[in-house]
Amino acid sequence: MAMEIENVGVMYYSALVPCVISALTAQGVAEFLGATGEQFAVNIVPEFTATQGIYTGFLALLCAVVSVLFCQVLKFSGKTYKKLLPNPYLRVFVGGCIVVALTYISGTRLYNGAGMNVIEMAIKGEAPAWAFLLKIIFTALTLGAYPLSYDMANGNYFTATLLAACVAAVFANVSAFAFKTSPTAFLTMCIYPMLPGSELYRLVYSIIMDDRVGYHEHGRKIFLICMAIALGYIIVEVLYKYTRFITHRNKE
């Protein structure tokens, strides 16, 4: 999948073995740490015939149309947000309110998050027919309002990631205090989307293709993004500990 995402329509077989090894390594590490990935069991496999081949091709065509629709809606939502709400702070606030309102109107949280639950329902034949459309709308409204920190940082991904990490760390500590638990679980959930997965794919691809300029650039981005995540968490954690120390000392 990573090979197809990196360069749509082109398959580099020289990258096949490294990608397989990296995937198996990641799976082994995840299982060692007690984490399990999403697995979907397909119990019924129809006999492959000419008719089934036509149906499969037609389904692939419909999936391509939905993919194009998703990209266009995402592009449209981003432009509309910026046109109607030039202020990035207001844009994110309004976007969040819209998503919350739609969640309550729909009466379900199926369309929030990564959407793996909807995929599982679709494989079982239990997903509503309009689920794909609602997921596109929810995702477009969410991602369209996202570029707050990116706009503030004028395209500087280090500053953008630093700001996002600070917000995530604040949220994790507040949630941990409210639920009387460790902030680790909340922090992991918040930081996961910030990890430079796409840059890591491009780094491996550049190494395989012996593109020295590419792997230096992508390696530099990965390093800076990871440093920004760590620094954001450290800043908030230090301020949080210092605030608790001052509060505790004043009470004494």
Residues 6 and 199: beta-carbon distance below 8 Å: no
| pLDDT given for residue 190 in this prediction | 79
Same domain, 141 and 155: no
Q: Please, is 5 exposed, middle or buried when counting C-beta atoms within 10 Å of its C-beta (0-12, 13-18, 19+)?
A: exposed
Confidence of residue 148 (pLDDT cuts 50, 70, 90): very low
| pLDDT given for residue 58 in this prediction | 92
Is residue 78 domain-resident?
yes
Same domain, 155 and 246: yes
Mean pLDDT across 215-224: 88
Interval 153-196: pLDDT, tens: 455 678 778 888 888 888 888 888 888 888 887 887 778 778 88
- Report the alpha-carbon distance of residue 176 to residue 244 in Å, rounded: 14
Mean pLDDT across 89-108: 85
Interval 224-246: pLDDT, tens: 889 999 999 899 888 888 888 88
* pLDDT score of 81 more than 60: yes
Sign of the Cα pseudo-torsion (215, 218, 223, 226, in order): negative
Full residue range of the structural domain in which residue 157 is found:
150-252
| pLDDT given for residue 4 in this prediction | 60
Same domain, 216 and 160: yes
Residues 148 and 212: beta-carbon distance below 8 Å: no
Is residue 21 domain-resident?
no
| pLDDT given for residue 146 in this prediction | 61
Is residue 243 domain-resident?
yes
- Report the alpha-carbon distance of residue 118 to residue 103 in Å, rounded: 15
Give the residue, 77 or 154, on which the prediction is more confident.
77
Confidence of residue 149 (pLDDT cuts 50, 70, 90): very low
Sign of the Cα pseudo-torsion (26, 31, 33, 36, in order): positive
When divided into structural domains, the chain yields a total of 2
Which of 122, 146, 170 is a domain's end point? 146
Same domain, 126 and 177: no
* pLDDT score of 5 more than 80: no
Same domain, 251 and 159: yes
Same domain, 154 and 248: yes
* pLDDT score of 76 more than 60: yes
Greatest mean pLDDT range, 48-52, 93-97, 226-230: 226-230
Residues 134 and 152: beta-carbon distance below 8 Å: no
Interval 18-27: pLDDT, tens: 778 878 888 8
Nearest to 193 by CA among 150, 161, 228, 231: 161
- Report the alpha-carbon distance of residue 136 to residue 70 in Å, rounded: 6
- Report the alpha-carbon distance of residue 106 to residue 95 in Å, rounded: 16
Residues 78 and 147: beta-carbon distance below 8 Å: yes
Question: What DSSP state is assigned to residue 109?
Answer: -
Question: What DSSP state is assigned to residue 87?
Answer: S
Confidence of residue 6 (pLDDT cuts 50, 70, 90): low
